[in-house]
Structure 1
């Protein structure tokens, strides 16, 4: 079995660093800082969308020239100030890697994705990492998830994530979706949670859910 993981809100809690970077960006244009609760609702669709939404929320020009590049420079500097792996992630990956290839499928650009995985000692668990700036496009486009199927042709694939983009990606690829309800993106589902029986409230619960999926229960 191939298991594909989202990054932000699934493997790592990056909410504080993303918020600090976004706040520094909008403050550089004269707007006040944004709260974590505001910024996490904007995360999950890639850096360009995050910047556009942050500028709009701050009543700034959403097409501000150079804003995306400025944000990436700020975020690169703040990338690991507070970002950590969620509790139980390392242990869950250590178990999951024995089931088959593991991969990361994220809308975050590849550079900062690799930087986070390397710094947190998680890179060694993954056979492939696909960022949002790849040729496969961004979730919910299922092209990236389908590309990961080449890691073990003929084997089933599972998507683990915390956001609607992850759920829609799994649905488009016709594969099981495991909702990481502990992640900050889960709040974006509101009163309409995804139609999946597979939900975890802690990373350590993943192994049991994968057992259920493999048995076909």
Structure 2
């Protein structure tokens, strides 16, 4: 297929913040640190596990401990592989994906979540069949907002024309650096107001998405 829609995962297709919060607090308790609030861990999401753990340690005054950081990254990913029970698909996602696939559009996933946990949560939620190509935060040596993961996803799909759908400043920067139209889901994990995030279209209801994509790719 020459046309594709590529999605971010956390905060775009799924609300995984509750599972991430629970996994983070299990890890913090294991190392004797105080727990975080849901809003705190939510603010750390978006740039991959290493960045997430750095935020956790910075908030607890241990940012400079490289050995601890490396150990906690490994431990978090191991726990995160099965942290799927609190995660939910946003309303309307499956209908939108069905509509896009029915319009002869290839679907791909480009996320900073490690590939193992991404596959696990997609399978748990019944979304795995939609995405023949998944590029995770550990698939390449770089992560979003570097454009390489998005470009790799498009190349694997054989796409010449594409739209990237995401929820955050990181996703917006990724699309801009790749020279790709960006559609912003406004109900995810963005840090600032919608008007400060560069985007071609924005939506809050997934029933609107197929029409926006058709408009952008026409």
Q: TM-score, normalised by structure 2?
A: 0.90
Superposed counterparts of 1:65-214, under 5 Å: 65-77=70-82, 79-99=83-103, 100-135=105-140, 137-150=142-155, 151-153=157-159, 155-183=160-188, 185-186=189-190, 188-190=191-193, 193-214=196-217
User: 1:209: how far off?
Assistant: 1.0
User: 1:195: how far off?
Assistant: 2.3
SS of corresponding position for 1:9: coil
Q: List, as ranges, runs of 4+ consecutive aligned residues in structure 1 with deviation greater than 4 Å.
A: none
Over the aligned positions, Cα root-mean-square deviation in angstroms equals 1.6
Q: Which moved more, 1:188-197 or 1:66-75?
A: 188-197
User: 1:192: how far off?
Assistant: 5.5
Q: For structure 1, list consecutive stretches of 5 or more residues without a partner in the other structure.
A: none
Match of 1:42 in 2: 44
The total of aligned residue pairs comes to 211
SS of corresponding position for 2:27: helix
Q: For structure 2, list consecutive stretches of 5 or more residues without a partner in the other structure.
A: none
| CA offsets 1:137-183 (integer angstroms, 9 cap, x no match) | 21011112112332234x31111000111101100111100001011
Alpha-carbon separation, structure 2, partners of 1:149 and 1:28: 40
Q: TM-score, normalised by structure 1?
A: 0.91
> 1:26·1:58 contact (CA, 8 Å) conserved in 2?
no
